Structure 1
């Protein structure tokens, strides 16, 4: 609405002989209880007008109405000038901007951004926390792409370390050669099973040593299993062929399992990085930092950085024995990623328990003067809880991603059947619809909440055709497609409609906001902005649908117009849901 801002600037100049900048105009969406679509806050202009906010608002309103044909009317409530834009303007907007295929398609902005998400460990399957991570990362990537960025979707796989060796060792000692094929388990589930077995057996050994008189800490260090796992890690780092072979075999099982989960979840990646390839990369950066005086070495040979002046603390970046810590490999990986893609921004989608780690990482890269360091961003998100409480993977109490998705599809089946929304569907079509609704429910529930907030996920609440849910929006889309299908005619040409009902105008006004909504969501890295926008759109369409007849409109001209408005609504719902990674059915 730049033309309103420009006209308001001119109004202040002509009425009060004062030059102001467009940024001085506070233009807002009019509150629902008042007439109008746009509101200008007039309080700042009283120092020029030397009149009350109400008088100032009325003078500016009269000026805008006299000089802008798009302004149909105005009203002033205290210091707020509410402007009603003409129906002719909104009809032009519908036909010239919203209905064309290019609507809400941003031109490339020349900036490249990497979104790194998922980052699984290869000692266990993906769980509910990973689902939020993957959905956030994928959706943010989709939104940034829609906003004009060139996007690289990256996955850094945590495929090395003591936790991996725990699963390997447990499989060696207790597995009896079990494989995904022989067990019927997905590979990631099989490996995760042995991670749990390791923990149970390790605890048994701790208790046995404590019974012999050792303290808790002594028992934890002296338990044979943990010593064997540490030895296996040393053998892996030394390149022991047998250990490397087992590591490759078990990781291959996990990757096949992950691939199935990612496919069911509807996410993908352009680039994979593996910690087994990157964990040594940071050592050269440590040497560089020592030479620059960014790092310092202690007497035992360990290397540190002092960040106390920055409100943090001293941070270890290399152990005394020369081995890497997490920050070492993250420094190296950040450099590798930038060398390969030279991106303007790099977004790390990682839970908020790692907030401190990323503050340290980004600060070190800035102090080292690394290219791209100013474009780093940690998309920190809250944990997901279930009514049953917190999850712990080593105890086998995690809500498995595959199990949860299967439960969502089953819940969708039960509720869809009960609502009678699959009458006349074939078996394959029903199966596809259950999956679409179940996954839509899961994704929407997790994405409609601001990423920073912790959330409680209730599977049953998420599959509700009447609530603030994915299935409600999916059903709205199917309803529109049903109406368009029953119309059975083409409706491409502009109609000679000149006046709009309130429900029609409200719908066009809201549709017109979609490009700006994409921009806002991209700037805030927040799929919740899209999710809440499309929910409001679905509500507005349903109000229009119930208040105004479409197929039985008073005449063919009005019928055609309402079909066009319906088609525009369906298009935007589908695109908005697509940015969340959610499919919308054609019928249900």
Structure 2
């Protein structure tokens, strides 16, 4: 942390600015406590002091429970110790502290000197501007944030959209903290699913998309998957009937009925595509075998398979890039899973794993006994595993010689660590076991440092009330559709609230507000909790949404425009109202909120902060005049406060990938 003097001088005083005003207040409180404990010969008993916010504003702005800890050492009541320490403090050294009191059975409460804290905070915000709050780390690292990584099978849907919004926010936050951040997208183009699409695409004669390419590919995948599955089940049914396996026959019939109902639905949705694929797939005596051969050929790097699957995957990715760029999400690297396989890195990793005592082979199937590694290397506590939890084994290679996703992910992780010191995988909670097995495999291979710097950023599901998504039925709401609807709703609201804006301005603002609304809705909930995507909450100009916070920012900009002057002679000592001081303190808290959000990887803390700041500002604005406040020094101080709120709202929103418009 640093402080330095700015050139502006008022009333003969040098105004100081700081990148973290609250830390300055805490530093002063700690210095007062250390001096007081020294006077009472207790300095050695307590080396560090923790601070919290008292439950009631009138109790002060910071409090410490240090006396409860001290009492254990000296056999005195905490309240008596608190009173002694307060009495021993040198009031002549108070700067940002105005008053100290003992309270609550042993707490020490610190009351801020708001004339000085307001000057420090508001001048710091206005001088540092876009850098305010973005406290740099003392230990910058090279960090890869791998996020989104949706398989190139169909459009990104709302259930998957939480990933890029969280991943992009985390990358922005880490970068603002001073780390060198690289955003990676892992293109999962190896495996049966991509072979299914390529098979269907080839059967259709490799047509050019007549619509957005990822939507086109998604339809081919859904219909091809359905028809191939029905074909497979019919053959299984014949075999079961031949051996009179009644129970098996009944089970297959149930599955077949389910898939036939899917086929009926898909035929109604995409009649031409369905009929063409049905005709072509029926010409193939064994579609399942053809797909398996294509999958193996691609993994082996055969040219024809490479051209076909790369072509279809690239088409889908073109659509992804279009969608994600609309949402303000971009990448530094697109990493193809197939490149890893063809480079020999996957084979190299498998060879190394075979040489460990943790891999067994049964009829060509290679199994990694992750549980054995946990016990052998004593990793249970380090990995946070319960004593009774048995980590399942991981299949590395199938009987047909093809590898599984997690096997390839081990090689990918090793490759990533050749380029970074820390890797963050933004992957849903449902992949927790695979991510655990991946980490255990790194330990088994001797990559302890990699394992300990690999972070699984897990997040929960997105649900839509009253709507059940089903990929196999092609029943999903795409991120494109959600963005379109959000922008449409935002346009209606902006037109209603600001009819004076030109049509072009309305469209531009609606785009910013609509995209911001979707991003905020997917980020503002703790990652561990599910998101219920509800339009009444997403586009709400009155509370807890991006449009609400953006509207508050635009309101602050409007006040400053109407004032048509800069606050030249603010007297911060005139900001005596509780609402004003609460607003100043909230602004002072922003740097520490930012640090906590980055260190805990919780973008929702910044969303919560921006919403709370907007609430406080709107309450203040509705209660007090700004431009017409008297005397002029008070008006200038309030204008400086409005300007600081504008800056901090913008900075907080930018960190989670949301633009703060100046007009709405």
Q: Structure 1-normalised TM-score?
A: 0.92
Count of aligned positions: 577
Find 1:169's aligned residue among 199, 202, 224.
Answer: 199
* Aligned ranges 1:220-299 → 2 under 5 Å: 224-279=286-341, 280-291=344-355, 293-298=356-361
Do the aligned partners of residues 91 and 299 (structure 1) sit closer, same or farther apart at CA in structure 2, a change above 3 Å counting? closer
Matched, 1:305 2:382: no
SS at structure 2 position matched to 1:29: coil
> 2:63 touches 2:107 (CA, 8 Å); kept in 1?
yes
* Aligned ranges 1:66-145 → 2 under 5 Å: 66=91, 68-70=93-95, 71-75=97-101, 76-101=103-128, 102-107=131-136, 109-145=139-175
SS at structure 2 position matched to 1:152: strand
Find 1:179's aligned residue among 201, 208, 211.
Answer: 208
2: CA distance, partners of 1:322 / 1:235: 11
Do the aligned partners of residues 65 and 473 (structure 1) sit closer, same or farther apart at CA in structure 2, a change above 3 Å counting? farther
Deviations 1:44-98 (A, max 9, x none): 2334564433333333333346354133224412332221111233133225533
Cα displacement (A) at 1:530: 0.7
2: CA distance, partners of 1:526 / 1:411: 28
Cα displacement (A) at 1:294: 4.6
2: CA distance, partners of 1:290 / 1:252: 34
Find 1:32's aligned residue among 56, 66, 70.
Answer: 56
Aligned to 1:509: 585
Aligned to 1:330: 409
Do the aligned partners of residues 294 and 412 (structure 1) sit closer, same or farther apart at CA in structure 2, a change above 3 Å counting? farther
Cα displacement (A) at 1:496: 6.5
Matched, 1:523 2:599: yes
Do the aligned partners of residues 225 and 67 (structure 1) sit closer, same or farther apart at CA in structure 2, a change above 3 Å counting? farther
> 2:122 touches 2:644 (CA, 8 Å); kept in 1?
no
SS at structure 1 position matched to 2:127: coil
Aligned to 1:315: 394
Matched, 1:426 2:426: no
Structure 2 unaligned segments of length 5 or more: list them.
1-25, 241-248, 257-283, 375-389
* Aligned ranges 1:558-577 → 2 under 5 Å: 558-577=634-653
Cα displacement (A) at 1:13: 2.9
Do the aligned partners of residues 111 and 21 (structure 1) sit closer, same or farther apart at CA in structure 2, a change above 3 Å counting? farther
2: CA distance, partners of 1:483 / 1:294: 70
SS at structure 2 position matched to 1:332: helix
Range moving further from structure 2, 506-515 or 187-196: 506-515
Cα displacement (A) at 1:6: 2.7
Q: Structure 2-normalised TM-score?
A: 0.82
Q: Which protein has greater RCO, CA pairs closer than 8 Å, 6+ apart? A: 2
Structure 1 unaligned segments of length 5 or more: list them.
none
1: CA distance, partners of 2:214 / 2:132: 42
Matched, 1:376 2:454: yes
Find 2:219's aligned residue among 177, 193, 213.
Answer: 193
Cα displacement (A) at 1:527: 0.3
SS at structure 1 position matched to 2:124: helix
* Aligned ranges 1:463-482 → 2 under 5 Å: 463-482=539-558
Do the aligned partners of residues 128 and 353 (structure 1) sit closer, same or farther apart at CA in structure 2, a change above 3 Å counting? same
Cα displacement (A) at 1:147: 1.5
2: CA distance, partners of 1:496 / 1:135: 39
